[in-house]
Structure 1
């Protein structure tokens, strides 16, 4: 998996504890040192999480360890939420004269009780995490230094062209439509730009990979290139990436003039397919510079652009943008079952577990990333659970209070 579920939980805990609001609360309740110790311990555990979440598929002892660790993280997450509530209460009260009496109430004996109680709970959680960290030494997990861990933000994101067909769920129709645009449609321009647009998590990159590796596409284009753009839209850098995308050419420190000569030599007269994945740049002038350099290809060349931004899709299009929708209910349920349950544990049709699972799926609104992430997260809890119904009910009632705030699309209309 590209990003471990528990790794993301640990990352969000650390980010929350480093926020300005928690800095204030830590000082107010005299738990700043305990916060820092919890951050330090979480960072140490986080270092081996990505390796552990890859090994759990083949090592049941690692899987059991991750379940224990997941339980500790969820308790920590609940505790951090309580502190977050306190932080927000304090910020509201500090600027509202009407609530002075309430502020006095929180600052006296109740504050002392809360401080003692929460201080003990933080210490208990940290000790649990310490215990699991010690156990992890038995698994020979590889520690990845913080600077080598890929962050979830777009600026650190990197993608590649390959995807296993079995990983693509419910996108066959969209694949056929895009291939038709790439291979069968005739446009006035020699080089046409086709944006694939949709919110984060819908699977735009996966869809582009699926198309890119299709046999019909492979045979149709003389040259195929894949470049991940993300939020660094530097024309020099992008031209260099395009040139190097199917070779190991060492370009050294060439200026743009030399780079564009290399690019024109590479593309001139050839029918090519270029995928520019994860484009964020909304400045038309920068895009225009790159566009002009790409227009030297042979007739029928295509540039496929994936983006979350409607503005980007309008700037880059020479044909109508292809809008990616959420998965159907059936495909959403199929994907969720694969992520959340072991094969022998799949819920029986009409069972309470299936009913609760479908509620989880309904809340994901057809967004594959949400389904995969939540399914994997639940897998850790459902594995060897004595009461899977209780686990699913707990998740629906507690965790989705936060997840529901995601801006995700609804199911596509049924045909």
Structure 2
């Protein structure tokens, strides 16, 4: 792999290669030189934790394994990789400027997506306008089907907000049927694209399942003090937070500090991250969060082992494996078509089936099928519980146990 400097250094430790891949057909058709890959991603700012957990380590793993093979197979040649990276500083305007530079100045062959719903929606029109595939597990919006139709190269792998919110409500319905909670639910959500869409979808699901939403508040990005919110709902037995990683940690800290102990507690993005379970240990066993893994699947266990061996850290229990599966699918599509032509690869990704860490998958809908979107923390990982129709669902252990006393 050839590493070059374009304002920032692309190094193996900071490599960003998402399950989001984009190509400029005119450039990709010719030459036997290195495949030029570029991305703008959050290496600083509030999004850095998510990007550095779900995105970058999996790119590092994928590039490592490509290097082990001698490069990316295009036609009958293995071609080395040249990487160009920029820090978007967790700012959508910075991301747009950096992506424009990657397209117009660096002229990358493959353009990788950023982390997070807001960032991906901000750069989406650029990817589409310039003919790059835009594949990501970190953009969750109810507009996903419409955007996938409008942008032919867009693969919103995680699907709609409703597909993430409804399984949370289904688990609460199970807990209510078991007598652990009543009809009253409290919900808080971060005031950005992710939180707005998830909260709206959750409101519809709560109404459909005849729950009474007794508390429904948003909070600004960057909020760390949730004590006043939690004090208002301390007697509620079911709680959901559609939060980002720093918020998820702060909410949990505040809940433990103020002895807020709902029988069912859902935490948003970050709960599936190793940093969350490393911080709170066994005290958060039983907490519900996003994503989930089938820990009885040997492919999952092998993926975790490879991830740890190459990157030196555990993957998260949500988007990481989805991202890696998408990378595998994209690589196989390139091998089958024998080209780096964006349109050919996109069509193959939509029409083919692919052997991945998630098993055999089809991306005909431009979304990843049969993935867990809610699970329960257990022994440092998240056991997948929902949607209910995903195979090999785990056991829902309820109620959540009280926080341990100091």
Q: Is the radius of gyration larger for structure 1 or structure 2?
A: 1
- Structure with the bigger RCO (C-alpha within 8 Å, sep 6+) is 2
- Greater percentage in strand: 2
- Tell me the TM-score normalised to structure 2 length: 0.32
TM-score (norm 1): 0.32
Say which structure is richer in helix. Answer: 1
